[in-house]
Amino acid sequence: DQQVKQNSPSLSVQEGRISILNCDYTNSMFDYFLWYKKYPAEGPTFLISISSIKDKNEDGRFTVFLNKSAKHLSLHIVPSQPGDSAVYFCAAGSGNTGKLIFGQGTTLQVKP
Amino acid sequence: EPEVTQTPSHQVTQMGQEVILRCVPISNHLYFYWYRQILGQKVEFLVSFYNNEISEKSEIFDDQFSVERPDGSNFTLKIRSTKLEDSAMYFCASSPPGLAVQETQYFGPGTRLLVL
């Protein structure tokens, strides 16, 4: 299932700088998108979501941008902290059943 | 902070055996889900459950799988006759009531199932 893609398997940034994680999708019927962070041997932790009627949502250090015409979303983390080092998943859904389609994840490393 | 819990954390079973994975969703949540992640692969949707019935299921969720909410707190996934390819991490998730219910799903820590 290639409906949601995270083309960068890994990203490394310096502490204090901005981390930008990208996600592309192919299904124009998706109407909500979520970002999760995952540590090894733990479940995904919900970070932030955005509805397709918006183009930006912000929560503290996390901002998600949605470009529907490009079928692209991104997660910005500013400033990045070493504790942000984890695997980040984007996920997309449509309708009212809650089914999420996940990307394959991007491993973020924030160096002190 | 309330969280989704899952038991057991690990389960090893023989092929053909039945397993039941248990989840306790967050207490005021009304929507429940099971996902799984085979090692090295994406997280995959299995089933969503609301108002004591299945809302949607994937093609993975065949007749060998069933879900149940036997009481007001537990949500279970049963695999009747396990296969080797059922080996995966199984995640339970839940969503609160509200307008943007599908936009917020909280996941449990997972049960690692190994079928031998």
Q: Is B53 helix (H, G, I), strand (E, B) or coil?
A: strand
Which of A7, A23, A8 lies closest to A68 in space, CA to CA?
Answer: A23
Q: Do residues A91 and A102 touch, judged by C-beta distance below 8 A? A: yes
In chain A, what residues touch B106 (CB-CB under 8 Å)? 46
Those residues of chain A that have pLDDT short of 70 are 1
Q: What is the pLDDT of residue B99?
A: 57
Q: Does B95 touch chain A (CB under 8 A)?
A: yes
Nearest CB neighbour to B42, from listed A36, A99, A104: A104
Q: What is the pLDDT of residue A87?
A: 96
pLDDT digits (tens, 9 = 90+) for B10-26: 999 999 999 999 999 99
Q: What is the pLDDT of residue B42?
A: 92
Cβ-proximal residues to B107 (8 Å cutoff; 6+ apart), any chain: A36, A43, A44, A45, A46, B4, B35, B91, B92, B93
pLDDT digits (tens, 9 = 90+) for B50-109: 989 999 999 999 999 999 998 878 999 999 999 999 999 999 999 988 755 556 899 999
Contact B33 A98 (CB under 8 A): yes
Q: What is the pLDDT of residue B86?
A: 97
